[in-house]
C-alpha cells in the first residue's frame, strides 16, 4: 500500500500544528453545541411534555438514556441472558468495563460514560486525520475530521454509548498498522471489537497493511503482523467464551438480539426493506448515504481494504433484518467521512456541508426523546 509523504512535515512548526488546533476547535464547538441542545431539549420537554427531570439535578439524563442504561446495567451487575426477552449480552463489554473502572474512582456511571465518549471522540478525530493524511491528500484528511465532528448523526459521540470510543480505536488501528506497530495495532483492533462487533472487520485494512509491507518485514515482525490481523476475531472469540462460561451460551450476544427484532439470515436485507416504517426511514436514508459516500471515497483514492471494511460495517446490521440504528453503526465506517471530504474539495460543497450539518445535528438531538439512535 503506497504511503504518501505528508506535506505538513515540510511546514514550519507553528503551521504544522495548525490542523490539530483546527480539528480540536471543531470538536470543542460541536460538543458544546450538542450539550446546549440536550439541555434545551430537557428544558422544553418536547415532544414529551410529561417527561420533566430537573436539569440541575439530572443534567446528563438524556446523554445516558436508551442503550446507555443497558451499558450501565452491565457495568453494575454483569451479564444475564433471558431467552425471549431483552437482555444485556447484546451489549459489548468495553464501555461497561470503563464505566465500572471510573466508578471505582468515584465518577458516576453516566458521567463516566459521557466523559469517555467525548474525550475519545477528540482522540478519534485526530487519529482519523493522521490516518487520512497517510492515505489521501492532507486537505481531504483534514476536512474528513472536521466533517466527522459536525456530522448530523454524530450526536451519538456525546452519549454514554461506545461509538466515540470505538471510532478512536478504529482510526488508531489503521494508523498503527500503517506505521508497522503491529502489536499496538492488534491491541487497538481487539479493543475496538470489544466496544462494537464491527471492529472485527478491521482485519481487512490491517491485513492489507501487512501484505503491503510483507517483503520488508523480519520474521518476528511478520508474526506480529499476523497477530494484529487476527486480534479482532480473537477478541470476539474471547467474549463468546466468556459468555459461555457466564451465561451458558457462546452466542448469547447474538441470541439476545432476537428480542430487538434482529435475526441474521440471507433474507435479512429483504426483511429490513419490507419492515420499513416510521423512524426506520431515518436509518435507511443514512444507510443509502453511507453507501454512496463509500463509492465517492473509493473514487477519490480510498484503498479497497478500507472501503470493504466500511461496506461490512454498514451492511452487517441490514443482514439482521432491520435498519434499526444503522445510522449509528455506520459512523465507524471511516471511508464515509473521506468520501464526504472528497465532495467538500469544492468550495460551494464545503460551505454547504458545514452549513447544513449543524442544522441537521440540532434536529437529531432535539428528537432524541422520540426515538433511540
The model's pLDDT over 222-270, given as tens digits with 9 standing for 90+, comes to 999 999 999 999 999 999 999 999 999 898 888 888 877 787 777 888 8
User: What does the block give as the cell for 230?
Assistant: 487476527
Range of weakest confidence among 49-63, 110-124, 358-372: 49-63
| pLDDT on residue 11 | 47
User: Is 192 part of any domain?
Assistant: yes
Q: How many Cβ atoms are within 10 Å of 44's Cβ, its own excluded?
A: 11
- Number of separate domains in the chain: 1
Average of per-residue pLDDT across 172-192: 98
* Percentage of residues of the chain with pLDDT beyond 70: 93
Average of per-residue pLDDT across 19-25: 96
Residues 6+ apart with CB under 8 A from 340: 143, 144, 147, 151, 293, 296, 353
- Please state, in angstroms and rounded to a whole number, the distance separating the CA atoms of residues 304 and 183: 23
Range of weakest confidence among 8-22, 31-45, 65-79: 8-22
* Residue of 40 and 289 predicted with greater confidence: 289
Peptide bond into 258 cis (omega under 30): no
Distances (CA, A) of 35 to 99, 139, 329: 20, 29, 22
pLDDT at 83 over 80: no
DSSP string, 113-177: HHHHHHHHHHHHHHHHHHHHHHHS-HHHHHHHHHHHHH-GGGGGGGSSSSHHHHHHHHHHHHHHH
Domain region containing 135: 7-366
User: Is 308 part of any domain?
Assistant: yes
* Residue of 188 and 316 predicted with greater confidence: 188
| pLDDT on residue 12 | 58
User: Is 2 part of any domain?
Assistant: no
User: Is 1 part of any domain?
Assistant: no
User: Is 152 part of any domain?
Assistant: yes
CA atoms within 13 A on the CB side of 288: 6
Q: What confidence tier does 287 reach under pLDDT thresholds 50, 70, 90? A: very high
Question: Residues 186-216, buried b or exposed e (16+ Cβ, 10 A)?
Answer: bbbbbbbbbbbbbbbbbbbbbbbbbebbeee
Based on C-alpha coordinates, what's the Rg of the chain? 20
CB 64 within 8 A of CB 40: no
User: Is 372 part of any domain?
Assistant: no
User: Is 373 part of any domain?
Assistant: no
Taking the whole predicted model, whether its pTM rises above 0.75 is answered as yes
Q: What confidence tier does 356 reach under pLDDT thresholds 50, 70, 90? A: very high
User: What does the block give as the cell for 156?
Assistant: 451519538
Q: How many Cβ atoms are within 10 Å of 104's Cβ, its own excluded?
A: 9
Helices (H) and strands (E) in the chain, counts: 16, 0
State the average pLDDT for the chain: 91
Average of per-residue pLDDT across 142-159: 97
pLDDT at 288 over 60: yes
Average of per-residue pLDDT across 271-293: 93
User: Is 355 part of any domain?
Assistant: yes
Amino acid at each position: 500500500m503506497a504511503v504518501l509523504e505528508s506535506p505538513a512535515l515540510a511546514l514550519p512548526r507553528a503551521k504544522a500544528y495548525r490542523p490539530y488546533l483546527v480539528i480540536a476547535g471543531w470538536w470543542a464547538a460541536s460538543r458544546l453545541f450538542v450539550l446546549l441542545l440536550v439541555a434545551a431539549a430537557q428544558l422544553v420537554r418536547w415532544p414529551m411534555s410529561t417527561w420533566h427531570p430537573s436539569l440541575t439535578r439530572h443534567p446528563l439524563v438524556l446523554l445516558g438514556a436508551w442503550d446507555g442504561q443497558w451499558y450501565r446495567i452491565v457495568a453494575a451487575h454483569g451479564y444475564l441472558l433471558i431467552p425471549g426477552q431483552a437482555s444485556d449480552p447484546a451489549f459489548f463489554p468495553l464501555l461497561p468495563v470503563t464505566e465500572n473502572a471510573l466508578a471505582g474512582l468515584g465518577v458516576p456511571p453516566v458521567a463516566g460514560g459521557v466523559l469517555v465518549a467525548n474525550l475519545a471522540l477528540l482522540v478519534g478525530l485526530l487519529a482519523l486525520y493522521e490516518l487520512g493524511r497517510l492515505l489521501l491528500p492532507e486537505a481531504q484528511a483534514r476536512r474528513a475530521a472536521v466533517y466527522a465532528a459536525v456530522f448530523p448523526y454524530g450526536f451519538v459521540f456525546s452519549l454514554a454509548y461506545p461509538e466515540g470510543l470505538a471510532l478512536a480505536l478504529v482510526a488508531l488501528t489503521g494508523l498503527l498498522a500503517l506505521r508497522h506497530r503491529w502489536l499496538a495495532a492488534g491491541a487497538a483492533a481487539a479493543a475496538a471489537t470489544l466496544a462494537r462487533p464491527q471492529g472485527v472487520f478491521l482485519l481487512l485494512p490491517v491485513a492489507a497493511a501487512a501484505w503491503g509491507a510483507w517483503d520488508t518485514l523480519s520474521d518476528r515482525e511478520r508474526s506480529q503482523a499476523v497477530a494484529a490481523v487476527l486480534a479482532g476475531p480473537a477478541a470476539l472469540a474471547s467474549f463468546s467464551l466468556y459468555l459461555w462460561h457466564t451465561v451458558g451460551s457462546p452466542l448469547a450476544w447474538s441470541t439476545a438480539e432476537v428480542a430487538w427484532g434482529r435475526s441474521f439470515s440471507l433474507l435479512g436485507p429483504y426483511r429490513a426493506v419490507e419492515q420499513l416504517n416510521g423512524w426506520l426511514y431515518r436509518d435507511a436514508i443514512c444507510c443509502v448515504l453511507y453507501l454512496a459516500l463509500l463509492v465517492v471515497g473509493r473514487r477519490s483514492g480510498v484503498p479497497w481494504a478500507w472501503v470493504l471494511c466500511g461496506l461490512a460495517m454498514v451492511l452487517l446490521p441490514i443482514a439482521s433484518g432491520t435498519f434499526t440504528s444503522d445510522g449509528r453503526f455506520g459512523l465507524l465506517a471511516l471511508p464515509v467521512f473521506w468520501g464526504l471530504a472528497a465532495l467538500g474539495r469544492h468550495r460551494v460543497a464545503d460551505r454547504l456541508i458545514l452549513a447544513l450539518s449543524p442544522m441537521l445535528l440540532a434536529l437529531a438531538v432535539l428528537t432524541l426523546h422520540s426515538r433511540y439512535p
